Amino acid sequence: MTGQPPTPKPAVLESRELVKLYPKVRAVDGISFAVTEGTCFGLLGPNGAGKSTTIEMMEGLLPPTSGQVLFRGAPLGQRYRERVGIQFQTTALQEFLTTRENLRFFGSLYPRQRPLEELVALCRLEEFLDRDAGKLSGGQRQRLLLAIALVNDPEVLFLDEPTTGLDPQARRNFWDLVQGVKARGKTIVLTTHYMDEAYLLCDEIAIVDHGRIIAQGSPAALLREHFDDSVLELPAPEARKLEGGLQYKEKGDHAEIHTADINGTIARLLAVGASLAHLRIRPRTLEDLFLELTGRELRA
Amino acid sequence: MSNPILASWRRLRAATWARSLEFVRDRSTLGWNIAFPVLLVLGLAYVFSGPGQPMFKVAVLAPPGAALDAGLHPFLGTPQVQFYREEQQPVALHKVQLQRIDMLLDLTATPGRYWINEQSPKGKLLEQLLRGAGGAPLQQEATQGAQVRYVDWVTPGVLGMNMMFSCLFGIGYVIVRYRKSGYLKRLNATPLRASEFLLAQLLSRLALIVLVNGAVFVACRLLLKVRMEGSYLDLLLLVTLAASSMIALGLLVSARIASEELAGGILNVLATPMMVICGVFFSIDGSPHALQLVAQLLPLTHLVNGARAIMLDGAGLAQIAPDLMALAAMSAVYLFLGAALFRWRQA
């Protein structure tokens, strides 16, 4: 997407002032946003922020304490479930059924089904199509669960922490699949606590903390809006040589210097005799943004 | 748009198929479901073929108001023998034929009379005790009709008990496990309705139970020459209704629970009394009235009574109609409650 002004598309899905109260917690405390057709909307936040509760209310599985979810402008009706696909954070499947049988079983619960071959190709299930679903690896399992979420060719796909617990390679593979789904024009709502996942997949994100949205926009716009500097990372002992000359923050065994003037900062470091052997310069990330907004680390 | 009834039928069929496939492929569970009842029947046949049951049960027809003690007849003072009052001679005599009781005394006639089952070693022993007890001599009457072995009597009870365990635990644990693992939550995200899901569980388990117990029944007929006087179709109808009611009871218990331990506890609380007071191993004739009333509320009682009536007496549908109706009513009530209370997810 280039930076043209967006033509106003109607929202596929809209949440209005969603609130969910549990006996001792305000899990969701007034969340409103709209998801545009064909885009991927991400709810980014730490564990316990209220992301999963919000997405389950959007899925129509959890009744909100107050507020409303609208699908194409109308309240969620009886047939909403036939038109959306859901992948939960953790899902057990029935034991002793193969990948193929699981797809066939879930498919037959819907009036409209996507052909099996298409699902297999889209989610790359060929190599374990006839294997017992209980014997799949973590990554294979998530691919099967994605295929099950797509079995009815849904208009909206919900992904709740889809790559939590996967190894880096499996996560990357999964992102490829989701981008393939996106390329077919599907609307996606995603929750994650991985900022790289949100940055890569989402057209728009809402950063959620304590049941409220604290920032919202496209990842690039959010970063532009809050930061005009970059981050220099180097080993902590080297940074300490600055001795109060330049501001730095120690994080474990390395230190970070936030600056818009990279040349000047490097010149100062050289002047105090700091080694640049392990210097790393990186742009600001959503992780930094979360820290900036809440004073806490995203993964803490 | 497709026809909603057709769509519902397709979902029901798919869920039944998926569950049955899981059960059939789970070899260890399936094997156990077949092996256990066979072993149980063989074991019991062996145990009860020998002597050595300490307790004797004697029905007494006595004048109204008379206490059943040695004052009425010295034999009634015999220790280790349970004497209880019966009112109708033909009913009591039938119990002698079935070895549900060991002897029938009639002290309303003069001279007094008694009946025993010639097949029953306990009856023979009691006869010796009676002769040794003194008092007015009693006259032995011939017991008419077929006399039933204990194994004939106990087999319907044991198969019924096994069905009960298979229904209650097989259904209860599976649903609780599905809920705990989040599988039910996933199904809830599809158009599958709770009633369709529950009915699918009932149908797949019912089909398996009828098939497995049918096979075990045939094995018992061949190996133990178990008596079968009535119609196989009537027995099938009875077993189908009984299994439905017990599966529905399992569904009701597991409607909300997400812990195997809790489910196991509740199922045991239901199953253990059924094993004891529904007359699986011992007849409950002569037990306190309240206990017999409670037994009438339990599905296993109706299954065991109905199956014995068909297998031992050749009873037809008319005679077991009260049992059939009780089982049908229990199925409906449990299923309705189970569906109304059902939750897809953990609270």
pLDDT for the residue B52: 40
The predicted pLDDT at position A5 comes to 61
The yes-or-no verdict on residue B44 having pLDDT over 70 is no
Identify the closest residue of chain A to B192 by CA–CA distance: A109
For chain A, list residues whose CB is within 8 angstroms of any CB belonging to chain B.
Answer: 59, 61, 79, 81-82, 86, 88, 90-97, 101, 104-106, 108-111, 148
Average the pLDDT over A21-37 and give the result: 93
CATH tag for A11-225 (out of 2.40.50.140, 3.40.1160.10, 3.30.460.10, 3.40.50.300): 3.40.50.300
Closest-CA residue in chain B for A58?
Answer: B189
- Band of pLDDT at residue A8, cut at 50, 70 and 90: low
Copy the structure tokens of residue B223: 């190996």
Specify the higher pLDDT residue, A163 or A6. Answer: A163
At B275-284, the pLDDT tens digits run 888 888 777 7
Q: What average pLDDT does the segment A208-230 reach?
A: 90
Instruction: Provide the token pair at A197.
Output: 């996942």
What whole-number distance in Å separates Cα of residue A63 and Cα of residue B200? 27
Could you tell me the CATH superfamily of domain A228-283? Answer: YebC, transcriptional regulation domain (3.30.70.980)
- Read off the pLDDT band of A179 (50, 70, 90): very high
In angstroms, the first-to-last Cα distance of chain B is 35
Would the CB atoms of A92 and B22 count as touching at under 8 Å?
Answer: no
Choose, out of A84, A89, A94, the residue to mutate when testing the contact with B (most B CBs < 10 Å): A94
> What percentage of chain A reaches a pLDDT higher than 90?
56
At A172, which helix (H) or strand (E)?
A: helix A168-183
Residue A18 pLDDT: 95
DSSP codes joined into one string, B277-308: HTTSSS--TTS-HHHHHHHHTSHHHHHHHHHH
- Answer whether B186 sits within 8 Å of A111, measured CB to CB: no
Which residue does chain A place closest to B188, by CA atoms? A61
B9 lies within 8 A of chain A by CB: no
Query: Which residue of B2, B190, B346 to mutate against A (max A Cβ within 10 Å)?
Result: B190
Give the pLDDT band of residue B49 (cuts 50, 70, 90): low
How do residues B18-27 score in pLDDT, each as one tens digit?
A: 999 988 888 8
Per CB-CB distance under 8 Å, the chain B contacts of A91 are: 182-183, 185-186
pTM value > 0.90: no
Per-state percent for chain A, helix, strand, coil, to nearest 5: 35, 30, 40
Q: Is B147 a residue whose pLDDT tops 70?
A: no
Confidence at B305, pLDDT banded by 50, 70, 90: very high
Specify which of A148-152, A269-273, B278-282 reaches the highest per-range mean pLDDT.
A148-152
pLDDT > 70? residue A298: no
Whether chain A has a CB inside 8 Å of the CB on B136: the answer is no
User: Can you give the pLDDT at residue B299?
Assistant: 94
- Contact between chains at A106 and B13 (C-beta distance less than 8 A): no
CATH 3.30.70.980 domain locations along chain A: 228-283
At the top level of CATH, which class does the domain B56-140 belong to? alpha beta
pLDDT at B190: 94
Contacts of A96 in chain B (CB under 8 A): 21-22, 25-26
B336 has a chain A CB within 8 A of its CB: no
pLDDT at A87 over 90: yes
Average pLDDT of the segment spanning B36-47: 73
Mean pLDDT calculated for residue range A74-96? 89
Nearest CA in chain A to B185: A91
Q: What is the dihedral of CA B254, B258, B262, B268, to 10 degrees?
A: 30
pLDDT of residue B53 exceeding 50: no
Instruction: Assign B321 a pLDDT band (cuts: 50, 70, 90).
Output: very high
Split at pLDDT 50, 70, 90, the class of A156 is very high
Predicted confidence at residue B30, as pLDDT, reads 79
Query: Does the CB of B27 have a partner CB in chain A at under 8 Å?
Result: no
Angle at A15 between CA A289 and CA A65, to 5 degrees: 105
**Is A208:A51 a contact under the CB 8 Å cutoff?**
yes
Q: Find the closest chain B residue to A89 by CA distance.
A: B182
Give the span between the Cα atoms of A86 and B191, in whole angstroms: 12
Judged by a CB distance cut-off of 8 A, whether residue B321 touches chain A is no
Is the CB of B21 less than 8 angstroms away from the CB of A91?
no
Query: How distant is the Cα of B258 from the closest Cα of chain A, in angstroms?
Result: 14
The whole-number pLDDT of residue B81 equals: 83
Distance from CA of B183 to the nearest CA of A (A): 5
Please compute the mean of the pLDDT values over residues A9-35 and round it to a whole number.
92
Q: How far apart are the first and last CA of chain A?
A: 32
- Say what percent of chain A tops pLDDT 70: 96
CB contact under 8 A, B191 and A82: yes
Residue of A nearest to B6 (CA): A111
Min mean pLDDT across A30-39, A124-133, A228-237, B185-194 is at A228-237
What is residue A300's predicted lDDT score, i.e. its pLDDT? 45
B198-225 residue pLDDT tens: 999 999 999 989 998 898 888 888 877 8
User: What is the number of other CB atoms lying within 10 angstroms of the CB of residue A224?
Assistant: 12
Name the average pLDDT for chain B. Answer: 86
Mean pLDDT for A7-19 is 86
Whether residue B1 and residue A81 make contact (CB cut-off 8 A), yes or no, is no
B chain contacts of residue A101, beta-carbon cutoff 8 Å: 18, 21
Supply the angle between the helices A138-149 and A168-183 in degrees, to the nearest 10: 20
As a whole number, mean pLDDT of residues A287-295 equals: 83
Using a CB–CB cutoff of 8 Å, tell me whether B26 touches chain A: yes
- Cα distance from B257 to chain A (closest Cα, Å)? 17
Query: For A193-211, what is each residue's pLDDT tens digit?
Result: 888 899 999 999 999 999 9
- The more confidently predicted of residues B317 and B30 is B317
CB–CB contact B26 A96 (8 Å): yes
Residues of B in contact with A105 (CB under 8 A): 14-15, 17-18
Name the residue in chain A with its Cα closest to that of B344. A61
A and B: number of Cβ contacts within 8 A: 67
Q: What is the residue-wise DSSP string for A252-265?
A: TTEEEEEES-HHHH
The chain B residue lying nearest A97, using CA atoms, is: B22
- Residue B261's CB: how many other CB atoms inside 10 A? 9
